[in-house]
Amino acid sequence: MFIRKEIVKEGKYINFVRKHFLTRSGKEGTWEMVERNNVFHGGAVAIVAITRDREVILERHWRYAIESFVIQLPAGLTDQEGEGEEETARRELREETGYLAKELIPIKVTPECSVMTTAMVKHYLAPNVEYVGGEKPDDAEIIEVLKVPLKKIPDLLLNLPPDTILDLRVPGMLWILEKMKLI
Protein backbone atom coordinates (compact mmCIF):
# COMPACT_ATOMS: atom_id res chain seq x y z
CA MET A 1 0.00 0.00 0.00
CA PHE A 2 1.32 3.44 -0.98
CA ILE A 3 2.16 5.78 1.92
CA ARG A 4 3.85 8.84 0.44
CA LYS A 5 6.11 10.19 -2.28
CA GLU A 6 9.26 12.14 -1.51
CA ILE A 7 11.08 14.21 -4.14
CA VAL A 8 14.74 13.79 -3.24
CA LYS A 9 16.27 15.88 -6.04
CA GLU A 10 14.69 18.01 -8.75
CA GLY A 11 16.47 18.04 -12.07
CA LYS A 12 15.92 20.00 -15.26
CA TYR A 13 13.96 17.13 -16.88
CA ILE A 14 13.83 14.37 -14.26
CA ASN A 15 13.12 14.22 -10.54
CA PHE A 16 14.68 11.59 -8.30
CA VAL A 17 11.86 10.20 -6.15
CA ARG A 18 11.42 7.83 -3.22
CA LYS A 19 8.06 6.15 -2.83
CA HIS A 20 7.28 4.83 0.63
CA PHE A 21 4.88 1.90 0.93
CA LEU A 22 3.77 -0.90 3.24
CA THR A 23 5.01 -4.39 2.41
CA ARG A 24 2.76 -7.45 2.62
CA SER A 25 4.00 -8.01 6.18
CA GLY A 26 3.18 -4.42 7.21
CA LYS A 27 6.74 -3.06 7.24
CA GLU A 28 7.56 0.22 5.55
CA GLY A 29 9.49 -0.14 2.30
CA THR A 30 11.12 2.38 0.00
CA TRP A 31 11.37 2.36 -3.79
CA GLU A 32 13.75 4.74 -5.55
CA MET A 33 12.81 5.88 -9.04
CA VAL A 34 12.70 8.80 -11.43
CA GLU A 35 9.80 10.85 -12.76
CA ARG A 36 9.92 13.11 -15.80
CA ASN A 37 8.89 16.65 -14.99
CA ASN A 38 8.78 17.85 -18.61
CA VAL A 39 6.03 15.72 -20.17
CA PHE A 40 2.29 15.86 -20.64
CA HIS A 41 -0.17 12.97 -20.97
CA GLY A 42 1.51 9.63 -20.19
CA GLY A 43 5.01 10.64 -21.14
CA ALA A 44 5.82 9.27 -24.61
CA VAL A 45 4.56 7.84 -27.87
CA ALA A 46 5.96 5.17 -30.20
CA ILE A 47 4.98 4.48 -33.78
CA VAL A 48 4.90 1.20 -35.73
CA ALA A 49 5.20 2.75 -39.18
CA ILE A 50 4.64 0.51 -42.19
CA THR A 51 4.88 1.50 -45.86
CA ARG A 52 2.49 0.45 -48.62
CA ASP A 53 5.14 -2.11 -49.63
CA ARG A 54 4.96 -3.71 -46.14
CA GLU A 55 8.29 -2.29 -44.95
CA VAL A 56 8.69 -1.43 -41.28
CA ILE A 57 10.36 1.88 -40.46
CA LEU A 58 12.76 1.40 -37.56
CA GLU A 59 15.57 3.42 -36.04
CA ARG A 60 19.08 2.53 -35.05
CA HIS A 61 19.25 5.22 -32.39
CA TRP A 62 22.24 6.09 -30.19
CA ARG A 63 21.25 6.11 -26.52
CA TYR A 64 23.65 7.94 -24.23
CA ALA A 65 22.34 6.31 -21.03
CA ILE A 66 23.47 2.85 -22.14
CA GLU A 67 26.22 4.02 -24.53
CA SER A 68 24.93 1.91 -27.40
CA PHE A 69 22.82 1.99 -30.51
CA VAL A 70 19.31 0.56 -30.06
CA ILE A 71 16.98 -0.84 -32.72
CA GLN A 72 13.70 0.81 -31.80
CA LEU A 73 10.43 2.18 -33.05
CA PRO A 74 10.30 5.88 -33.90
CA ALA A 75 9.26 7.52 -30.64
CA GLY A 76 9.31 10.69 -28.63
CA LEU A 77 8.30 12.47 -25.48
CA THR A 78 4.97 14.22 -25.13
CA ASP A 79 6.83 17.34 -24.07
CA GLN A 80 5.07 20.04 -26.10
CA GLU A 81 2.40 21.84 -24.09
CA GLY A 82 -0.95 21.85 -25.89
CA GLU A 83 0.06 19.05 -28.29
CA GLY A 84 -1.97 15.84 -28.18
CA GLU A 85 -0.45 12.38 -28.31
CA GLU A 86 -1.45 11.82 -31.95
CA GLU A 87 0.10 15.15 -32.91
CA THR A 88 3.27 14.17 -31.05
CA ALA A 89 3.37 10.80 -32.85
CA ARG A 90 3.04 12.46 -36.29
CA ARG A 91 5.65 15.11 -35.44
CA GLU A 92 8.19 12.64 -34.04
CA LEU A 93 7.81 10.25 -36.97
CA ARG A 94 8.36 13.09 -39.46
CA GLU A 95 11.24 14.71 -37.53
CA GLU A 96 13.14 11.48 -36.91
CA THR A 97 12.49 9.55 -40.13
CA GLY A 98 11.01 11.86 -42.77
CA TYR A 99 7.88 9.69 -43.02
CA LEU A 100 4.35 11.08 -42.95
CA ALA A 101 1.55 9.25 -41.14
CA LYS A 102 -1.86 10.00 -42.59
CA GLU A 103 -3.55 7.51 -40.27
CA LEU A 104 -2.76 6.53 -36.68
CA ILE A 105 -4.40 3.58 -34.96
CA PRO A 106 -3.92 3.30 -31.18
CA ILE A 107 -2.49 -0.10 -30.21
CA LYS A 108 -1.49 -0.33 -26.55
CA VAL A 109 -0.17 1.73 -23.67
CA THR A 110 2.82 0.18 -21.93
CA PRO A 111 5.18 1.27 -19.15
CA GLU A 112 8.46 2.80 -20.26
CA CYS A 113 10.26 0.89 -17.51
CA SER A 114 7.95 -0.19 -14.69
CA VAL A 115 10.68 -0.54 -12.06
CA MET A 116 12.34 2.81 -12.77
CA THR A 117 9.74 5.39 -13.86
CA THR A 118 6.05 6.26 -13.98
CA ALA A 119 6.27 7.18 -17.68
CA MET A 120 3.90 5.38 -20.04
CA VAL A 121 4.26 4.92 -23.81
CA LYS A 122 1.23 5.08 -26.11
CA HIS A 123 1.88 2.95 -29.20
CA TYR A 124 0.31 3.66 -32.58
CA LEU A 125 0.17 1.81 -35.88
CA ALA A 126 0.80 4.12 -38.83
CA PRO A 127 -0.17 2.14 -41.96
CA ASN A 128 0.85 3.22 -45.46
CA VAL A 129 3.35 5.87 -44.36
CA GLU A 130 4.98 7.89 -47.13
CA TYR A 131 8.50 9.29 -47.23
CA VAL A 132 8.30 13.07 -47.64
CA GLY A 133 11.72 14.02 -46.28
CA GLY A 134 12.44 16.91 -43.97
CA GLU A 135 14.04 14.95 -41.15
CA LYS A 136 14.96 17.28 -38.28
CA PRO A 137 16.25 15.17 -35.39
CA ASP A 138 17.25 17.02 -32.24
CA ASP A 139 20.91 18.04 -32.20
CA ALA A 140 21.77 15.34 -29.63
CA GLU A 141 20.04 12.55 -31.60
CA ILE A 142 22.07 10.16 -33.76
CA ILE A 143 19.57 8.19 -35.81
CA GLU A 144 19.96 5.80 -38.72
CA VAL A 145 16.57 5.13 -40.33
CA LEU A 146 16.02 1.50 -41.34
CA LYS A 147 13.38 0.38 -43.86
CA VAL A 148 12.97 -3.37 -43.39
CA PRO A 149 10.55 -5.63 -45.27
CA LEU A 150 8.16 -7.14 -42.74
CA LYS A 151 9.18 -10.68 -43.74
CA LYS A 152 12.87 -9.85 -43.01
CA ILE A 153 12.27 -8.47 -39.50
CA PRO A 154 13.13 -11.80 -37.77
CA ASP A 155 16.51 -11.92 -39.54
CA LEU A 156 17.33 -8.33 -38.49
CA LEU A 157 16.29 -8.91 -34.89
CA LEU A 158 18.30 -12.13 -34.61
CA ASN A 159 21.37 -10.66 -36.36
CA LEU A 160 21.75 -7.14 -35.01
CA PRO A 161 24.43 -4.81 -36.36
CA PRO A 162 27.60 -4.52 -34.25
CA ASP A 163 27.36 -2.28 -31.16
CA THR A 164 23.55 -2.47 -31.29
CA ILE A 165 20.96 -3.86 -28.89
CA LEU A 166 17.25 -4.47 -29.35
CA ASP A 167 14.34 -2.69 -27.72
CA LEU A 168 11.90 -5.55 -27.15
CA ARG A 169 8.95 -3.29 -27.93
CA VAL A 170 9.81 -3.83 -31.60
CA PRO A 171 9.02 -7.58 -31.72
CA GLY A 172 6.39 -7.14 -29.01
CA MET A 173 4.32 -4.56 -30.87
CA LEU A 174 4.73 -6.40 -34.19
CA TRP A 175 3.49 -9.60 -32.53
CA ILE A 176 0.49 -7.76 -31.05
CA LEU A 177 -0.34 -6.25 -34.45
CA GLU A 178 -0.09 -9.66 -36.09
CA LYS A 179 -2.43 -11.18 -33.48
CA MET A 180 -4.85 -8.26 -33.98
CA LYS A 181 -4.68 -9.00 -37.73
CA LEU A 182 -3.56 -5.45 -38.46
CA ILE A 183 -0.39 -6.50 -40.31
Structure confidence by residue, pLDDT tens digits, 107-134: 999 999 999 999 999 999 999 999 999 8
Dist. CA 97–CA 59, nearest whole Å:
8
Task: Give the residues across from 68 on adjacent strands.
Answer: 63
Question: What pLDDT does residue 46 have?
Answer: 98
Domain assignment of residue 127, given as a range = 43-179
| pLDDT beyond 90 at 40 | no
- Tell me, yes or no, whether 74 and 142 share the same domain: yes
Q: Return the closest-CA partner of residue 129 out of 85, 80, 173, 96.
A: 96
Dist. CA 38–CA 15, nearest whole Å:
10
- Tell me, yes or no, whether 151 and 86 share the same domain: yes
| pLDDT beyond 90 at 38 | no
**DSSP 3-state of 90:** helix
Question: What pLDDT does residue 20 have?
Answer: 97
Average pLDDT value for residue range 138-151 = 95
Average pLDDT value for residue range 3-29 = 95
Q: Return the closest-CA partner of residue 78 out of 44, 34, 125, 126.
A: 44
Average pLDDT value for residue range 24-50 = 93
Q: Yes or no: say if 87 and 95 are a contact pair by the CB < 8 Å rule.
A: no
> Measured between alpha carbons, how far is residue 28 from residues 20, 25, 117 in Å?
7, 9, 20
Average pLDDT value for residue range 21-29 = 95
- Tell me, yes or no, whether 26 and 114 share the same domain: no
| pLDDT beyond 90 at 137 | no
- Tell me, yes or no, whether 6 and 72 share the same domain: no
User: Tens digit of pLDDT for each residue in 53-103?
Assistant: 999 999 999 999 999 999 999 999 999 999 999 999 999 999 999 999 999
Q: What are the E-state strand segments in 23-172?
A: 28-36, 43-51, 55-63, 68-72, 75-77, 99-100, 105-111, 120-131, 143-149, 164-166
Dist. CA 101–CA 177, nearest whole Å:
17
179: left (phi over 0), alpha (psi -120 to 50) or beta: alpha
- Tell me, yes or no, whether 62 and 146 share the same domain: yes
Structure confidence at residue 138 as a pLDDT band (50, 70, 90): confident
Question: What pLDDT does residue 39 have?
Answer: 86
- Tell me, yes or no, whether 116 and 170 share the same domain: yes
- Tell me, yes or no, whether 84 and 115 share the same domain: yes
Task: Say how many domains are in the chain.
Answer: 2
